[in-house]
Amino acid sequence: FKSNLKTASTLSVIVGVFMFCWSPLVLIDIVSIFAQEPFYNVVSIAALRLALSNSAYNPIIYGIFNQSFRKGFKNIMIHC
């Protein structure tokens, strides 16, 4: 039960961060469909950068929540 709870909490954090990062871009894209002209401004560029930064957060999340990931990462870093 304990390992299932840890897995569920890790997965919920990963999905939550994914939703936080990608929701602004998706909303801007939906709004721009209904607008007369597509708009590309500072907000849409910032939303795109936030969405693309999601890939950088996954290793951090796994490193915090998964001990075997931390051990494997340390092992790789030692042998480089």
Give mean pLDDT, residues 42-57: 93
Number of structural domains the chain divides into: 1
Task: Categorize the per-residue pLDDT at 59 as very low, low, confident or very high, splitting at 50, 70 and 90.
Answer: confident
- Going by C-alpha positions, the residue among 2, 3, 28, 20 that lies closest to residue 57 is 20
How many Cα atoms occupy the beta-carbon half-sphere of 68 within 13 Å? Answer: 3
Residues of the domain holding 62: 1-79
Give the pLDDT of residue 38.
66
Rounded percentage of the chain residues whose pLDDT exceeds 90: 36
